[in-house]
Structure 1
């Protein structure tokens, strides 16, 4: 894990994670509101930073809020920073949990629903979020190469 993922003084906007539940990704369908980015599209767990959080703290908290899952830092095996379209730093992680933990997933107060989706199905889905599909591609290329 890059050292920056644990830095609580780092200036970043937020964090997302690929959450593998077995071999499938846990994804959330965003609310269909015109006031939010990517309304109605399929998203990854994660969101905006709260004061004093490291990128990893942020994504762990957001995953608990959105899917009622308590992840441990040891569940994560990948982390990378990106600059979003406005030049702000955001983080992208990958975590893996056993398929049996699916039973503990409960949708939080945001979003229309959640699903498990194979990575190839997410990349091809018409309601994917394009930047997240690209980051998924980066992750897959990195893990296949390494």
Structure 2
């Protein structure tokens, strides 16, 4: 699916973007750094982060995915996207559900944020006591569609 960056978000103000990325049947998760100065230290997270300059949500996510895990968002199929109120600070954030084919994990090049990465089933992520609750809620909303 090709997404027009300007048409996808209508220019509304937002602060960042995150994605639940399925690689085959499993979700890519990142273990957050265990530092007291960040929200949800040590929790299971998804690729994504803060907006820079005049980026669109898709541009923000594409940059963050390259920086954090070395994957190109343009290779992913977009399954869903929606904006939400921020979970850890005021503002809007975009949440995406994306899918890449099995085997894409061989291309992951982990960046310098977080403790590591892994692949988990959707059910395991939704049940994980150490996952970020807002991300679990957003995935449940998508799953219910």
Question: What TM-score results when the alignment is normalised by the length of structure 1?
Answer: 0.89
Which runs of 5 or more structure 2 residues have no equivalent in the other structure? Answer: none
Structure 1 residue matching 2:112: 3-state secondary structure: coil
Partner residue of 1:38 out of 23, 28, 40: 40
Q: Does 1:132 align with 2:135?
A: yes
Q: Does 1:24 align with 2:26?
A: yes
Contact 1:4/1:10 (<8 A) preserved: no
Which runs of 5 or more structure 1 residues have no equivalent in the other structure? Answer: none
> How many Å separate the matches in 2 of 1:39 and 1:104?
26
> How many Å separate the matches in 2 of 1:104 and 1:73?
12
> How many Å separate the matches in 2 of 1:113 and 1:106?
11
Partner residue of 2:106 out of 78, 87, 103: 103
> How many Å separate the matches in 2 of 1:32 and 1:95?
27
User: How many pairs align?
Assistant: 141
> How many Å separate the matches in 2 of 1:45 and 1:112?
13
Q: What's the C-alpha RMSD, in Å, of the aligned pairs? A: 1.9
Q: Does 1:119 align with 2:143?
A: no
> How many Å separate the matches in 2 of 1:129 and 1:109?
20
Structure 1 residue ranges (4+ consecutive) displaced by more than 4 angstroms after TM superposition: 1-4
Question: What TM-score results when the alignment is normalised by the length of structure 2?
Answer: 0.90
Contact 1:14/1:58 (<8 A) preserved: yes
